[in-house]
Amino acid sequence: MKVVVVGATGMVGRMMLKVLEERNFPVDTLIPAASERSSGREVTFRGKPVSVVSVMEAVEAKAGVALFSAGASISREWAPVFAENGTVVIDNSSAWRMEKGIPLVVPEINASAISVKDKIIANPNCSTIQMLMALAPLHREYGIRRLVVSTYQSVTGTGVRAVTQLDNERRGISGEMVYPYQIDLNCLPHCDIFMDNGYTKEEMKLVNETRKIFDDEEIRVTATAVRVPVKGGHSEAVNVEFTKEFELERVRELLSSSPGLILYDNPDERIYPMPLIAHDRDEVFVGRVRRDFSQERSLNMWVVADNIRKGAATNAVQIAEYMVSAGLLR
């Protein structure tokens, strides 16, 4: 199998290479692709250097699958070109997520949404992935009526330049400002651009993607997304109101037995999820699980995951793995 990684020199692209290698994905030929200025550079895969090619060269290779992590504009331009050439595209950008007819997939939740005719599959937003990983088993049993979520998002979600800004500020070095304000020793209630309704694009992704993945337009979602001076992963405070009553013991059973989730919750022993624990892990960690006494049929939880792994690269590779196992990708 020929596998293309578009954006192979970026933070998520390099993680995609690492995850492909870790999970022994059946790569016969790896084709790393990036912008023209990166052509000729090398990335390492399975201990060997591999030369980066242009996106057009990658198209001409007629690969079985292309993992995209190069931004929405590149995906809009090139994903249809790959698809028309017979390559399945798994796209990590926001370009195709809400497009009608394009599956938006978290494999543990809705892999069955993918069919043999699908040539472009969208990877959800990182914050959406981890939140729905924790909520999916509960939604199946109790039905979600309303979600209130506040996110505490790592600078790695913005990219390598944001990490550099944080590092520079901690060292007292002047440099490029990716954010409108200092991020070290600060929190910015500003992820992505502001929209006409007063919410940011990141906040509306949580609203719209939740409804699409759960295939339920009646779920009410409101979100506040905050950027924090952390590198290891995203954290979320999630308040969920169900349509049915629940027992806390059963909630814990569902979370404990759900693939890809780790219930990490023992406040008496000071055991609760943190980015330090989730960093470089593929699992989603759930803790601080407790009843909301202010509202009927409502629950609070704290959800943490590595946004570069399960929130991006790992989820994309898992989609490809599912397609191989289902005979949709050869």
List active site positions: 126, 234
What does the alpha-carbon distance between residue 150 and residue 110 come to, in Å, rounded to a whole number? Answer: 24
DSSP at 224: E
Residues 6+ apart with CB under 8 A from 267: 288
Q: 87, 64 in Cβ contact below 8 A?
A: yes
DSSP at 312: I
Here the tokens at position 177 are 């400002």
What does the alpha-carbon distance between residue 176 and residue 151 come to, in Å, rounded to a whole number? Answer: 25
Here the tokens at position 116 are 């043999």
Q: 152, 236 in Cβ contact below 8 A?
A: yes
In DSSP terms, which residues pair with 237 in a beta bridge? 150, 302
Using DSSP's 3-state secondary structure scheme, residue 75 falls into helix
Neighbours of 280 (CB within 10 A): 11
What does the alpha-carbon distance between residue 158 and residue 308 come to, in Å, rounded to a whole number? Answer: 10
